[in-house]
């Protein structure tokens, strides 16, 4: 009898160990079939209104992929938000906090802030984590030979600025009609605002228009003096390169000084409902650039509504914002992330991917017209083809006009001045490479 | 000359907008010696509450009343929870407490009403007055004139309140000397509650005017930045000082931006008022209308 108890204990211990081991293996297996995406978001603070829309769209798209398709290639998408409040120091802290999460670590970092992007340029190279900056960030990072880990995708600020000139030219009856015209560049007095300066000065030289520069100090909630200058200058067009409260303030001030809003073209960060609604009637007729469009009438948005919101799993508290400009931008972030995973899985297998493997996926991303149609995003965003040398991949921009209630598309996808922009990108990237002692990659040798 | 007058007028009217926010600071400092860092957050919370109540279906007057009640409740709560435990603490402690308070108010307001940016309509168009434009060529916004009118009424009401009511006189007594006021039976806590409630009302007026101009968003908290040079110039304890300081700061910053801006790269209206106020401090440290403080050595 004396031996029975130990035997029972041994058996119990063995059963417990097997069960625990099974559970652990099960957990590990489950964990192994998950792709972790770290999201540095801003849902509180000065820019919370835009942030809540963007991250809502992004998360809803990934949730839809999990609900409808069971993840990407059988690998479930998981994510965790980290609040940056659009603050550089917090952004870097979030990067550090998120980078070790998930079975393969954080496989991509998308800061949604030019400031945070600049702070992490060296870190992402050391940590082998690709950094994707859609519609913001450092423009010359589009030269993938010098910046292999950074992807300023779809359109950079420089490409956008040249499409603005093309759009204005078309409105004037042809680009040659810009000769002798006057354009005011009303910009946020920051690195973001100054990003469009050089290329617009070059465009002014090329097409013969004069450019008047009017900086607005942060946050831009008082613009009386700038608009009195505009009244004095009597420009043919005003380019509004604003951010946050600067945008509705500019629209209100334009109305106050009697400047027609139809003659104002905004950067895409001036082209959301959050920019026009506070300005009320003063915003009517204002046009802004976009790398995606507004509206819920796209199959991809319908898929989100059917697979996520009908199951009460949507991220947006205010469901009327589904299909708004910032929400749709978030969906674009989701599409690009998921398509990069899909591309990388085709090479590395249907498993959780490391940052290095994800980088390969981003660098071989090819979202053509057929793929866009399959995704339900035809007309929703432009085609995108990333290569080793070109990390921008598109450059196309569409223009939307605020009719007092919603954004209406008023142009087709407009091509940038590729020759000028690419030349500037290569020149600037080469200078950066020299400063940092980087030897540019030979793309002919890249797989 | 016509353009100069237009810039000057525009600047003066912008200055009135700064004065709205400066008034809230003055009220609290005058009565309690506390520099209320949370004034910008109170402006934001007041405007957000007003628009929030309107979105719930309340009419304009009811939303105004509800927002006013909210701000009074916030004032009373601030006195009870933040200030009362800190009675007789050094001014820097009270100042630090208001920094914390600003984060709490911002968070609570956004948490309760949401972070969405909203429009606010007061029924006054922000467009140039046509007859003035036709007759003189000078563009002055009807909304700016409305703002100036509201400021005049507000200052008159506050002046009457402080000069001719018993509570007003008690407020001034507390401002002069807490201990002396207590010794003659003035209830300090009640006075503080009243002054925070009045500051809440001023924040509501400022929030409505600024919200109608730029929309109701978190950026309303930044309006406090515009009020600081006004306070330095006008003095922290003077209501007329807040108005005159606002007019001087508003007009000089606009003239400087328009006539000097292009020579120094533009965008100088963010730092020029501070530079001016600091220069003024060297000449008259107590501000234009501030009380000269003499300590017995």
Is residue B77 in some structural domain? yes
Query: What is the β-pairing status of strands A407-409 and A398-402?
Result: antiparallel
> In whole angstroms, what is the distance from residue A362 CA to residue A266 CA?
29
Print the domain residue range for A213.
158-290
Helix (H, G, I), strand (E, B) or coil at A407: strand
> Cβ atoms within 10 A of the Cβ of A242, count?
26
Are residues A229 and A139 part of one domain? no
Is residue B216 in some structural domain? yes
β-bridge partners, A241: A187
Q: Among A290, A320, A347, which residue terminates a domain?
A: A290
Do A258 and B118 lie within an 8 Å CB cutoff?
no
Mean pLDDT over the full length of chain B: 88
- Secondary structure percentages of chain B, helix, strand, coil, to 5: 75, 0, 20
Is residue B103 in some structural domain? yes
Q: Would you put residue A379 in left (φ > 0), alpha (ψ -120 to 50) or beta?
A: left
Are residues A61 and A147 part of one domain? yes
Is residue A135 in some structural domain? yes
Q: Among the listed ranges A6-20, A306-320, A324-338, B184-198, which one has the minimum average pLDDT value?
A: A6-20
pLDDT above 90 covers a percentage of chain B that reads 40
Print the domain residue range for B173.
17-125+135-222
Are residues A260 and A353 part of one domain? no
pLDDT score, position A32: 57
> In this structure, are residues B214 and A245 in contact, taking their beta carbons and an 8 Å threshold?
yes
Do B214 and A248 lie within an 8 Å CB cutoff?
yes
CATH number, domain containing residue A238? 3.40.50.2300
Kind and range of the H or E element at B64? helix B60-78
Is residue A428 in some structural domain? no
> In whole angstroms, what is the distance from residue B133 CA to residue B60 CA?
31
Is residue B257 in some structural domain? no
The confidence band for A352, taking pLDDT boundaries of 50, 70 and 90, is very high
Q: Is the pLDDT confidence value at A392 over 90?
A: yes
Q: Is the pLDDT confidence value at A322 over 60?
A: yes
Kind and range of the H or E element at A385? strand A384-385
Find all residues with CB under 8 Å of B277, minimum gap 6, and list them.
B228, B229, B230, B232, B233, B249
pLDDT score, position B25: 92
Is residue B266 in some structural domain? no
Number of domains in chain A: 2
Q: Among A337, A356, A386, which residue terminates a domain?
A: A386
The confidence band for B33, taking pLDDT boundaries of 50, 70 and 90, is confident
Is residue B296 in some structural domain? no
Tens-place pLDDT, residues A66-87: 999 999 999 999 999 999 988 9
Is residue A129 in some structural domain? yes
Sign, CA dihedral B4-B6-B7-B12, equals positive
Of B163, B96, B257, B267, the residue nearest A189 (C-alpha): B267
The pair of three-digit structure tokens given for residue B158, joined into one six-digit string = 């506050």
pLDDT score, position A1: 37
Mean pLDDT over the full length of chain A: 92
Could you give phi then psi for residue A415, rounded to 5 degrees? -75, 140
> In whole angstroms, what is the distance from residue A196 CA to residue A424 CA?
12
> In this structure, are residues B106 and B204 in contact, taking their beta carbons and an 8 Å threshold?
no
Q: Among the listed ranges A101-115, A194-208, A287-301, B176-190, which one has the minimum average pLDDT value?
A: B176-190
pLDDT score, position B192: 85
Is residue A222 in some structural domain? yes
Are residues A85 and A167 part of one domain? no
> In whole angstroms, what is the distance from residue A411 CA to residue B138 CA?
37
Which residue in A224, A232, A405 has the most chain B C-beta atoms within 10 A of its own C-beta, making it the best mutation to test that interface?
A224
Are residues A148 and A75 part of one domain? yes
Q: Is the pLDDT confidence value at B290 over 60?
A: yes
Residues 204-243 of B with CB under 8 A from A: 210, 213-219, 221-223, 226
Is residue A53 in some structural domain? yes
pLDDT score, position A28: 47
Tens-place pLDDT, residues A413-422: 999 999 999 9
> In this structure, are residues A66 and A334 in contact, taking their beta carbons and an 8 Å threshold?
no
Q: Which chain B residues are Cβ-neighbours of A278 within 8 angstroms?
A: 117-120, 214-217
> In whole angstroms, what is the distance from residue B136 CA to residue B130 CA?
10
Are residues A41 and A143 part of one domain? yes
pLDDT score, position A5: 45
Cα-trace Rg, chain A: 24
Is residue B246 in some structural domain? no
> In this structure, are residues B139 and A231 in contact, taking their beta carbons and an 8 Å threshold?
yes
> Cβ atoms within 10 A of the Cβ of A268, count?
22
Residues 156-215 of B with CB under 8 A from A: 210, 213-215
More confident position, B59 or B173: B59
Number of domains in chain B: 1
Q: Is the pLDDT confidence value at A4 over 90?
A: no
Mean pLDDT of B282-291: 80
Which residue in A260, A278, A322, A402 has the most chain B C-beta atoms within 10 A of its own C-beta, making it the best mutation to test that interface?
A278
Mean pLDDT of A347-365: 97
Are residues A169 and A149 part of one domain? no
> In whole angstroms, what is the distance from residue A104 CA to residue A202 CA?
45
> In this structure, are residues A264 and A286 in contact, taking their beta carbons and an 8 Å threshold?
yes
Could you give phi then psi for residue A10, rounded to 5 degrees? -65, -45
Burial-class residue A265 by CB neighbours within 10 Å (0-12, 13-18, 19+).
Answer: buried
Say how many CB pairs under 8 Å bridge A and B: 126
Distance from CA of A264 to the nearest CA of B (A): 17
> In whole angstroms, what is the distance from residue B262 CA to residue B242 CA?
29
Of residues A221, A229, A255, nearest to B127 (C-beta): A255
Is residue A280 in some structural domain? yes
Is residue A178 in some structural domain? yes
Q: Which residue of A has its CA nearest to B252?
A: A225
| Angle of CA points A109, A111, A115, to nearest 5° | 135
Helix (H, G, I), strand (E, B) or coil at B242: helix
Of A125, A39, A35, A31, the residue nearest A348 (C-alpha): A35
Mean pLDDT of B231-241: 88
Longest Cα separation, chain B: 63
> In whole angstroms, what is the distance from residue A131 CA to residue A135 CA?
13
Asked if the peptide bond before residue A219 counts as cis, ω within 30 degrees of 0, the response is yes
Q: Among A240, A267, A290, which residue terminates a domain?
A: A290
Is residue B228 in some structural domain? no
Q: Is the pLDDT confidence value at A293 over 60?
A: yes
């Amino acid at each position: 009898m004396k031996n029975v108890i130990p035997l029972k204990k041994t058996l119990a211990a063995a059963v417990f160990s097997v069960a625990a081991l099974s559970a652990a293996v099960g957990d590990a297996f489950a964990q192994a079939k998950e792709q972790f995406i770290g999201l540095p978001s801003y849902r509180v603070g000065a820019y919370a209104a835009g942030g809540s829309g963007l991250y809502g769209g992004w998360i809803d798209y990934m949730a839809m992929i999990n609900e409808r398709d069971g993840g990407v290639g059988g690998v479930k998408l998981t994510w965790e938000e980290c609040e940056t409040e659009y603050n550089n120091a917090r952004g870097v802290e979030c990067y550090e906090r998120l980078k070790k999460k998930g079975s393969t670590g954080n496989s991509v970092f998308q800061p949604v802030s030019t400031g945070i992007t600049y702070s992490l340029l060296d870190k992402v190279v050391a940590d082998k984590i690709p950094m994707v900056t859609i519609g913001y960030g450092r423009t010359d990072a589009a030269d993938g030979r010098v910046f292999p880990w950074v992807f300023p995708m779809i359109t950079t600020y420089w490409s956008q600025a040249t499409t603005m000139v093309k759009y204005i030219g078309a409105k004037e009856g042809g680009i040659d009609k810009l000769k002798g015209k006057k354009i005011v560049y009303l910009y946020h007095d920051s690195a973001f605002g100054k990003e469009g300066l050089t290329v617009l000065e070059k465009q002014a030289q090329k097409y013969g228009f004069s450019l008047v520069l009017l900086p607005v100090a942060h946050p831009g909630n008082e613009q009386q003096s700038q608009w009195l200058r505009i009244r004095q200058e009597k420009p043919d067009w005003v380019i509004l390169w604003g951010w946050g409260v600067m945008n509705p303030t500019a629209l209100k001030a334009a109305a106050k000084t009697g400047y027609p809003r139809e003659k104002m073209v905004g950067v895409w960060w001036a082209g959301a409902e959050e920019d026009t609604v506070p300005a009320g009637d003063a915003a009517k007729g204002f046009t802004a650039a976009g790398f995606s469009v507004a509206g819920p009438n796209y199959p991809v948005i319908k898929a989100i509504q059917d697979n996520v919101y009908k199951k009460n799993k949507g991220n947006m508290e205010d469901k009327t914002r589904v299909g708004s400009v910032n929400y749709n931008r978030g969906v674009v972030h989701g599409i690009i992330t998921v398509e990069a995973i899909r591309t990388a899985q085709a090479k590395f297998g249907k498993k959780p991917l490391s940052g290095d493997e994800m980088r390969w996926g981003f660098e071989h991303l090819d979202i053509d017209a057929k793929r866009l149609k399959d995704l339900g995003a035809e007309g929703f965003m432009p085609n995108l083809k990333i290569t080793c040398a070109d990390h921008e991949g598109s450059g196309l921009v569409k223009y939307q006009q605020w009719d007092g209630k919603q954004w209406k598309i008023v142009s087709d996808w407009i091509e940038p001045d590729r020759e000028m922009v690419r030349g500037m990108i290569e020149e600037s990237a080469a200078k950066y490479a020299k400063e940092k002692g980087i030897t540019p990659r030979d793309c002919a040798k890249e797989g | 000359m016509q353009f100069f007058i237009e810039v000057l007028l525009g600047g003066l009217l912008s200055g009135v907008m700064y004065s709205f926010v400066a008034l809230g600071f003055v009220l609290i400092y005058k009565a309690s010696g506390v520099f209320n860092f949370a004034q910008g957050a109170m402006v934001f919370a007041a405007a957000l509450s007003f628009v929030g109540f309107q979105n719930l279906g309340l009419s304009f007057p009811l939303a105004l009343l509800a927002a006013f009640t909210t701000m009074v409740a916030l004032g009373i709560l601030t006195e009870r929870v933040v200030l009362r435990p800190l009675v007789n603490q050094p001014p820097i402690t009270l100042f630090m407490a208001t920094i914390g308070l600003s984060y709490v108010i911002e968070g609570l307001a956004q948490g309760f009403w949401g972070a969405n940016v909203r429009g606010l309509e007061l029924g006054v168009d922000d467009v140039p007055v046509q007859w003035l434009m036709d007759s003189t060529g000078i563009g002055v916004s009807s909304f700016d004139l409305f703002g100036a009118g509201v400021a005049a009424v507000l200052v008159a009401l506050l002046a009457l309140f402080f000069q001719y009511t018993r509570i007003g006189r008690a407020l001034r007594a507390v401002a002069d000397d807490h201990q002396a006021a207590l010794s003659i039976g003035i209830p300090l806590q009640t006075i503080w509650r009243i002054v925070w409630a009045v500051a809440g009302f001023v924040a509501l007026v400022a929030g409505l005017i600024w919200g109608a101009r730029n929309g109701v968003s978190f950026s309303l908290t930044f309006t406090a930045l515009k009020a600081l040079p006004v306070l330095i110039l006008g003095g922290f304890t003077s209501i007329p000082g807040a108005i005159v300081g606002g007019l001087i700061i508003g007009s000089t910053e606009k003239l400087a931006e328009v006539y000097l801006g292009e020579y120094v790269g533009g965008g100088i209206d963010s730092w020029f008022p501070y530079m001016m106020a600091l220069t003024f401090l060297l000449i008259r440290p107590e501000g234009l209308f501030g009380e000269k403080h003499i300590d017995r050595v």
